Amino acid sequence: MEGRMQAKAQFSDSNRRIMEVDAPPRRVYQTWKGSNIFLLGGRLIFGPDVRSLVLTVCLIVIPVIFFAAAVCPQLGHEYHSQVGGWVASVAIVFSAYILAILLLTSGRDPGIVPRNAHPPEPEDIGESSNLSDWPGGQHGSTSLPLTRDVLVNGVLVKVKYCHTCMLYRPPRCSHCSICNNCVERFDHHCPWVGQCIGKRNYRFFFMFVSSTTMLCVYVFAFCWVNLKKIMDVHECKLGRAFLKSPISGLLILYTFFAVWFVGGLTSFHLYLISINQTTYENFRYHYDRKTNPYNRGLGQNFIEILFSRVPSSKNNFRAKVKEDSATFTSSLSMGHVISPAKMSVDLEMGMKRQAVAREELEDLHSQIGSAMGLERCGTEPPHFVARKGCSEIASDIEAFAGEFGMENGFGERKKIERHTNDGS
């Protein structure tokens, strides 16, 4: 009985493998090696800290709701006109625009460089590799150099090799440790939007922080207008006006502190755009003693960053993964790559296993024959009968034969035995 259960377990494992092969092909986002979170079938890509996006949305929407529901009606009542409705409408539409820009910033590919399936060959690296940074490179090691020299606008720039993505990063590219991706023109990873800021979404990030700054100024200004009108109508001082419209006072304090944050970011990134530099470059390199190879002048820098065409993504997250690619990806996730030599060895070992299986099948078949003969003669040992019946052994061998694709041979032998038994 135990052998029968083992044979069934092996047969079920084989069925499971067949089902995995026949399963529908997976898509790129389902086998993605980064730490990203995908939504809507791979149409939206976020960073692993996408939950912070909820807090960012609340910090924008909730103050606008209080402004439109409490301050604007009071403003219209004080002025005896529809000005409150217009002020509220502008705030709501502008907030919707900011949320759309926020989604474009956090929900799209920031410029991820696709990973290599295998490291580049040493002979493909070229003469521009920096051998001094090559561990053991001067002693004939087959390791890859850590850096390469690339010419950018007449200036020699070093690019590093990424061991995770198995590629030499393009200039201005860096590996984000949070998203676990190499990102082109990497600026920084922003926790407020839950995404890396790179070549494809930097423009939208700047539009987001600058628009949020303008919204803060807008709410701040009209809250002051409301308090000033209350002071004029009721002929009171500022303290009493705060008591008559406490929401206006709270929003003034809130927007005052918020504008220092988003306004400071806007000013800092205006400076970076003017010199065509990223936050990462500004904090790490500073270009103190070297010429910035990317600075093309004030006008050209603004045109390149804010008004040029956004490059297409290098990744199609909804594309179907080929079977061989999926096999290769699974081998990479196990920490090794199956070489052609290794595949030939595995094939040879598989053929040997089949030969051994056939021999085991012959032995079991002979045991069945002897068991049947003993049973007919009444001389079968008692312990053999107690352990397993002939029908159970036959079913075990049938399952075993089905596992190795030998059902036809087993069926023919079974017919011969039946014919012999009938003749006897």
User: What's the whole-number mean pLDDT along residues 215-230?
Assistant: 95
Q: Provide the mean pLDDT of the chain.
A: 77
The pLDDT score that the predictor gives to residue 44 is: 96
Give the C-alpha separation, 331 to 338, whole Å.
7
Q: What percent of the chain has pLDDT over 70?
A: 64
List pLDDT tens digits, range 34-91. 999 999 999 999 999 999 999 999 999 999 999 999 999 999 888 878 888 999 999 9
Place of tokens 């790129």: 28
365 φ, ψ to 5°? -65, -40
Give the pairing of strands 167-168 and 174-176: unpaired
Contacts with 251 (C-beta within 8 Å, 6 or more apart), sequence order: 63, 66, 67, 71, 219, 220, 223
Q: How far does Cα 74 stand from its chain's mean position?
A: 48
pLDDT, mean of residues 121-136: 51
Say yes or no to pLDDT of 25 above 70. Answer: yes
Residue 323's pLDDT is 55
Weakest mean pLDDT among 23-27, 145-149, 386-390 = 386-390
Most confident of 26-30, 332-336, 374-378: 26-30
CA–CA separation, 273 and 108 (whole Å): 21
- Tell me the pairing of strands 174-176 and 37-39: unpaired
Angle separating helix axes 202-234 and 72-79, nearest 10 degrees: 40
377 catalytically annotated: no
pLDDT at position 146, please? 87
Q: What integer is the mean pLDDT of 175-195?
A: 96
Annotated catalytic residue within 190, 196, 216, 223: 190
In the prediction, which pLDDT does 6 show? 55
pTM over 0.85: no
Each residue of 333-372: pLDDT tens digit? Answer: 433 444 444 444 444 444 545 554 555 555 555 555 554 5
pLDDT surpassing 60 at residue 181: yes
| CA 423 to chain CA mean position, Å | 69
Strands in 231-347 per DSSP E: none
The tens digit of pLDDT for each residue in 229-250 reads 999 888 888 889 899 999 999 9
Q: Cα separations (Å) of 317 from 109, 131, 158, 301, 311?
A: 10, 37, 30, 31, 16
Centroid of chain to Cα 187:
18
Report pLDDT for 384.
38
- Alpha-carbon distances of 288 from 155, 186, 278, 284, rounded to whole Å: 14, 20, 15, 10
